[in-house]
Chains A and B, each alone.
Chain A
Amino acid sequence: MIKIDGLYKLFDGKDVLRGVSLGVRKGEVIALIGGSGSGKSVFLKHVVGLMKPDRGRVIVDGMDMSTLRGRGLTSLRDRLGFLFQGGALFDSMTVFENVAFPLKEKTKLNDDLIRERVFNELEHVGLSGSEYKYPSQISGGMVKRAALARALVTDPEIMLFDEPTTGLDPVIGAAILNLIDSCHKRLSFTGIIVTHEIPKVFDIVDRVAMLHEGIIWADDTPEKLMSSSEPIVRAFVGESANSSIRHQSGNTVVRG
């Protein structure tokens, strides 16, 4: 469904992506992990065509995103959903208006049907009762859930999540991941989750890819990655898992 082949991207003379290659099969959800500034978000923006690669190809459902323009790009984007790190809700609109916006602009559904679908979607993400609040009036977790509802309301075939739990407390973060999992079971989308939420995210993905030094350093099932003996993978996955355990146990140090 998604195939990235030899993706290069240079920013201010620095190689952020140095030949990234990765494939995601239809219906599969993968987690993309890696250190801060390793280029995960840049990678995701290439997948949706917000950035153009210096070299390499991004093939989504047989179409090359790096050369796609105009209607071809628009029709492909109609099948995509993207959850931004900050939510990217339109701050002059209420939660209801935000979620209804893509339906109003991209479909011919009447107002009653749009209302019904928006209310259903908001119920799925646990935002019933907050329909008429503005993004500035709700918490960070609620913004993420509203953004998730907006991304999912058009039933996308491909969903991309850019750090869906960043800035949220562990309970809300886990709730967002569970929500993504339940939405995947409901809609069967193909997905890429960029995240630091290790090891929690491993429970809801089929594969984990690790981006390091501009390339895919490791790409395997969560179980195999957790038991990897590769030092860099061990350092990243092991330390993240440990810090998660320390965090969950109320700062009590539990090493292992």
Chain B
Amino acid sequence: MVLGFQGFYSLSRFGSDAFLGPMVGLSLVKELGPVLSALMVTGRAGSAITAEIGIMRISEQVDALELMGLNPYRYLIVPNLLAVVISMPLLTAIFDVVGIFGGYLIGVKLLGVSAGTYFGEMASYVDMKDIMEGIYKSLTFGVIIIWVCCYKGFYTGIFTGFGAEGVSKATTQAVVMSSVLILVWDYVMTSLLF
């Protein structure tokens, strides 16, 4: 919705407000959708994963798994990785759809751009390649989130100290590191897929 307002303001200065639809669509599917979804998943699920594995680590539950002759990576990382590979593209798609609808509410219902122009121009300028670029990005962001958050959880105690404070530090580090890596990797991906 903010994108709708800002886009309309910028485009109307050049008499190009008809391109609000493509601007909102391209910004969302290529950048904002995957990046903001990934940052939200980091805060919501990534932190929970680090805290859960961290608590299991300091209370020796991970050691217990190992001593049962079971591979802790299989039990603690693989399910999270599969979940994120399935959910990240879906969440990104939902984010894109909701964002495009928000842009429609502002651009069409509030600022008077015609609905046909908004969606018609969007359909003309947003290709499947653009959508897939966002989906590929979301998948790689998901892998980054799981990689960093599981790693931080597994090594709670070694790098961050034991106890509740150790788990708290590990969780903070996981969220910060994931967020920064997502932004850096977004730049790399954008450069490669440009």
Contacts and interface: CB of A to CB of B under 8 A. Distances in A.
Contact of B61 (A50, A75, A88, A102): A88
A75 B69 CA distance: 7
Contact of B70 (A75, A91, A105): A105
A77 B67 contact: yes
Contacts of A106: 68-70
B60 interface: yes
B68 A88 contact: no
B59 interface: yes
B66 interface: yes
Interface residues of A, number: 19
**Chain B residues touching A, majority SS:** helix
B64 interface: yes
B134 to A, nearest CB: 34
A50 B70 contact: no
Interface-central residue, B59, B63, B67, by most chain A CB under 10 Å? B67
A50 B66 contact: yes
Contacts, number: 40
Contact of A74 (B55, B61, B69): B69
Contacts of B55: 91
A90 interface: yes
Contacts of A88: 59-61, 63-64
A249 B69 CA distance: 44
A149 interface: no
A22 B61 CA distance: 28
Contacts of B70: 105-106
Interface of A: 48, 50, 74-75, 77-78, 80, 82, 84-86, 88-91, 101-102, 105-106
A82 B69 CA distance: 12
Nearest to B64: A88
Nearest to B52: A92
A48 B68 contact: no
A90 B68 CA distance: 13
Contacts of A82: 64, 67
A201 B56 CA distance: 30
21 contacts: A50-B66, A50-B67, A74-B69, A75-B69, A77-B66, A77-B69, A78-B69, A84-B60, A84-B64, A86-B60, A88-B60, A88-B61, A88-B63, A90-B56, A90-B61, A91-B55, A91-B59, A101-B68, A102-B68, A105-B68, A106-B69
Contacts of B67: 48, 50, 77, 80, 82
A77 B68 contact: yes
A75 B70 CA distance: 10
Contacts of A91: 55, 59, 61
Closest A-B pairs by Cβ, 4 of them: A88-B60, A88-B64, A77-B69, A74-B69
A106 B75 CA distance: 13
Nearest to A154: B68
B18 to A, nearest CB: 54
